[in-house]
Amino acid sequence: MNSIDLLGQRLGTAALTTLVRLCPEIRTASPTQQEAACAAMRAKSKEAIDELLDDAKAAPWLAEVAFTSAVLTLANEGIQVLRGG
């Protein structure tokens, strides 16, 4: 597995974990709502990863902050769908 795949997996796991922590209503959402939230997160993932890589290249000492920002960006996409925003 290459490093971009590992980054994507780590980002996805962190974003889903963050979504569950920040939006506990996902636990009671219908499977359709849950899938819609995940689909929104997937749709935003390329943009979030590109931004993460650009930020990390520009300021490597802020790579963890850039990663956290990407996690929150993806989680927020899911939250907006679940909360009807």
Quote the pLDDT of residue 85.
Answer: 65
What is the C-alpha radius of gyration for the chain, rounded to an integer number of angstroms?
13
Helix ranges restricted to H, 1-85: 3-22, 31-58, 63-82
Quote the pLDDT of residue 5.
Answer: 87
In tens, the pLDDT along 15-65 reads 999 999 999 999 999 999 999 999 999 999 999 999 999 999 999 999 999
What is the residue type of 77? E
